[in-house]
Amino acid sequence: MGETSRKLLEKLPIEKCWAITAKTLWRFIVLRGDKLIAPLLGIGKDIVSPLWSKDKWYEINEKIFADGGRMFYPWVKETFNIAVENAIGADKIGHVVACFVWGPEWEYEHIEKTEKRVVTRAFTCPCWEAYEEFEVDPEFRPCDISEELYVRAGLKAIDSKVTFKTTKARPRGDPYCEFIREFREE
């Protein structure tokens, strides 16, 4: 890296660095088919449907996102010493992970927040915004499924007593996404 680039990066606040990095990485994921690869292969706008059936596409994404959650959640828990002893801890680590993965531009509110159960509604999400911005076919917007797989696998890797469920999702036509994290005694 050149001296000029290094000096510029040193002046950039860390929060801005994370926001740029997360947004860039997530948009690359969103674009991996429609805008980057499809033109190189000389096929139409949507690379996903010509290559795989919708079921196969979800099967591939299921493995990718569940494996990612199983690896990343424990790392975040240990690195930032986040206690996940109840639903509030599960919610806290979920928001830290979400900011790392998708960026900090979230608008959400807690509908319910107890040690046994946290219900969160997300009104603005960097993932959904990227899909909208790049006009990704609604049939292939896996954010509700990938979020569920990623978070569920990640929380289970930390503590099998924590559950996660998506009850509302923008890809399903809802006006917001709603997530429930519960801590159940076994």
pLDDT of residue 181: 96
CA angle 148, 156, 184 (to 5 degrees): 95
Task: Give domain status of residue 67, yes or no.
Answer: yes
Task: Give domain status of residue 128, yes or no.
Answer: yes
Task: Give domain status of residue 8, yes or no.
Answer: no
Strand 162-168 relative to strand 117-124, pairing: unpaired
**Maximum Cα–Cα distance for the chain, whole Å?**
57
C-alpha 171/C-alpha 92 separation (Å) is: 24
List the beta strands (DSSP E) in 13-158.
107-113, 117-124
pLDDT of residue 5: 54
Residue 138's domain is classified under what CATH number?
Answer: 3.30.1380
pLDDT of residue 103: 77
For the chain, the domain total comes to: 1
Task: Give domain status of residue 5, yes or no.
Answer: no
Element (H, E) at 58: helix 54-80
pLDDT of residue 178: 95
Q: What is the pLDDT along the chain (186 residues), one digit of tens a residue?
A: 445 556 666 776 777 667 666 666 655 555 454 454 445 445 455 544 445 566 776 677 677 778 888 888 999 999 889 999 999 999 999 988 888 877 778 889 999 999 999 999 999 888 888 777 777 776 666 677 777 888 999 999 999 999 999 999 888 889 999 999 999 876
Task: Give domain status of residue 93, yes or no.
Answer: yes
123: which DSSP letter?
Answer: E
Q: Domain span at residue 59? A: 14-183
pLDDT of residue 93: 94
Task: Give domain status of residue 6, yes or no.
Answer: no
Task: Give domain status of residue 78, yes or no.
Answer: yes
What pTM was estimated for this model as a whole?
Answer: 0.71
List the beta strands (DSSP E) in the chain.
107-113, 117-124, 162-168, 177-183
Number of C-beta neighbours around residue 132 at 10 A:
13
Task: Give domain status of residue 9, yes or no.
Answer: no
